[in-house]
Amino acid sequence: MDQQTYEKKMVGEKAAEYIKDGMIVGLGTGSTVAFTTKKLADRIKAENLSIQAVSTSHATSKLAESLGISLLDLNDVQKIDLTIDGCDEFDPELNGIKGGGGALLFEKIVAQASDRNIWVADASKAVNQLGAFPLPVEVLRFGWRHMFRAMEEKGLHPKLRMNGEEPFLTDSKNYILDCHAKAIDDAKALAGWLNALPGVVENGLFINICDQVLAADHDKVKVINR
């Protein structure tokens, strides 16, 4: 196991300790949260816990169901007690970029429906300023080139995400434009500009959403609170 995978496993499994009996839990998407999901399944069996979950993607649903975790439709849930998710970057204020796995829309909806949000992150995810990781923007397929041009004129250097020779499709069958801004000076303003652009479904800037990050720090987990 390489160092990054070790860190993902360490923080992912640690996050499962925050889940208590009777909770409705949001399960994020990605390789780090996959360790959380597997550890949660082990805890449910070993401790006979009553846990129900809401998934943020088809991939997470498939994994959770294979492990015997009971899933609920978000529409049938009043609120989620705790959501555990990964991130692609987070800054000192715990704002972040998410969507590298393509699930930013469902992830943001679930996060907003949650009382508390914890992100799990290997050491590479901590940054002083957001933007080094390409910012995903989910857009409708209808007229996407017009959104592309608007982002290009804004200096965001967008690229259409591909899956082999075909455009990548989100779970909602939309496209993703990855914006290579390199540095984002005002994340809140940029998020507002993007969401005001007709055809943009959602952007990958998660602002004032995360409550706590469990970050890998060598061989231990560092807890960072907002």
Measuring CA to CA, how many Å separate 69 from each of 26, 77, 149? Answer: 12, 16, 43
Catalytic residue numbers read 107
103 and 71 in a common domain: yes
160 and 84 in a common domain: no
Structural domain contains residue 202: no
- pLDDT grade for 8, boundaries at 50, 70 and 90: very high
Give tens-digit pLDDT for 177-214: 999 999 999 999 999 999 999 999 999 999 999 999 99
181 and 97 in a common domain: no
User: Which residue range(s) make up the domain with 181?
Assistant: 135-197
Give tens-digit pLDDT for 115-170: 999 999 999 999 999 999 999 999 999 999 999 999 999 999 999 999 999 999 99
46 and 91 in a common domain: yes
CATH of the domain at 96: 3.40.50.1360
182 and 218 in a common domain: no
- pLDDT grade for 36, boundaries at 50, 70 and 90: very high
Q: The whole model's pTM is what?
A: 0.96
Instruction: Cite the annotated binding site for substrate by residue number.
Output: 29-32, 85-88, 98-101, 125
As a residue count, the chain comes to: 226
